[in-house]
Structure 1
């Protein structure tokens, strides 16, 4: 058993009952080939929550500060995370993400770049659009519907892959591509939240 599988099993046994996680749309998740998984960001627990509910291992882009210490760098690497410097164009992180997608793996992003203060879906950064346009990955939107309160239901909803054929052919900008992804996440969020 890999460290990732072991960590997933342990974290799932804690998070799933604690937040009564309900998973929807997992059948929409492609079981092979490259996938760019894009989710909204409401809490620090989002990466492990998505990690334990997705049916495939995910390579998450994580803030570089989490790799600062030797022990934390080892942990982050063992759970398939790779560093990104926030607030700037990090070419190394973009190259790493594209490499994983070329290898047919799943790359996970929170396009907003930071947590939403009010839980609503915000504007995404261009990085998600860059990966979507520069790879042949299937783009899977994911909505996390909280808040994280013990024993209150939390929903993780996976949408159908977004058809990026036309956007890639028309060579749209990374910003426009990200807007399309965020609109799909917002749609999932709005359709599945408790009114």
Structure 2
């Protein structure tokens, strides 16, 4: 097996990331009245794993937009073959994953990036919501929770589903809020044995629901 390529500095955004971030900060602030809070919960150095609810195709952009460090995401392998989109993914730290197979190599790469100091973002529902609510979580990501000691940050997005649900070609104007929650307690996580997978998934989902509810209250407040 060939050695993996050396990783870049996890605290430095490359030119592609900075350009996309600059353009979208202006567009989303106007079109989606975008705001984020809870950034004080993120470590300034070292890795962190973001567990994010999945409302729309915009979600990776919405989470990365306010950060001064890049986020490395997992994305469907077939997206890398799409013109333009594939080029963007390859140049913005995204890792391919085959959702139809046990992609242990992708999870190993995610662990490597976390240990190297990257922020890594995952969507444990596995696909975008069709109702706006957080669906039951898939268990594949639990390996990342158990194999790394980085902070686990729940992230809640509200308003992206209303602006850009499945089946819509372009996002409508709206109000989008993102809330970064407090890290999951390592003591709480260690209480769950390997036989308590369902209970651990429910615990992580509750923390994600708390963040989404906070984002929704913020989005609708007058």
TM-score (norm 2): 0.79
Quote how far apart the aligned CAs of 1:159 are.
Answer: 0.3
1:51-83 Cα offsets, whole Å, 9 max, x none, are 213342100111111112575433212111011
Question: Greater CA radius of gyration, 1 or 2?
Answer: 2
CA distance in 2 between counterparts of 1:54 and 1:178 reads 27
1:136-159 Cα offsets, whole Å, 9 max, x none, are 110000100012264421110110
Quote how far apart the aligned CAs of 1:128 are.
Answer: 2.4
| Equivalent position of 1:154 in the other structure | 176
1:22-74 Cα offsets, whole Å, 9 max, x none, are 21212112211110011100111111111213342100111111112575433
| Equivalent position of 2:9 in the other structure | none
Q: Which aligned pairs between 1:65-76 and structure 2 lie closer than 5 A?
A: 65-69=78-82, 72-76=85-89
| Equivalent position of 1:182 in the other structure | 205
Query: Which stretch shifts more, 115-124 or 10-19?
Result: 10-19
Change (3 A) 1:85 1:180: same
2:136 to 113, 123, 137: 123
| Equivalent position of 1:102 in the other structure | 115
1:91-132 Cα offsets, whole Å, 9 max, x none, are 111111001011011100111010111101111111222111
Runs (5+) with no aligned partner, structure 2: 1-13, 164-170
| Equivalent position of 1:54 in the other structure | 67
CA distance in 2 between counterparts of 1:170 and 1:145 reads 29
Q: Which aligned pairs between 1:10-49 and structure 2 lie closer than 5 A?
A: 10-49=23-62
| Equivalent position of 1:84 in the other structure | 97
TM-score (norm 1): 0.89
CA distance in 1 between counterparts of 2:173 and 2:185 reads 36
Does the aligned pair in 2 maintain the 1:145–1:155 contact within 8 Å? yes
Work out the number of aligned pairs and report it: 195
After superposition, the CA RMSD in angstroms is 2.1
| 2:9 is equivalent to residue 3 of structure 1 | no
Runs (5+) with no aligned partner, structure 1: none
CA distance in 1 between counterparts of 2:181 and 2:96 reads 26
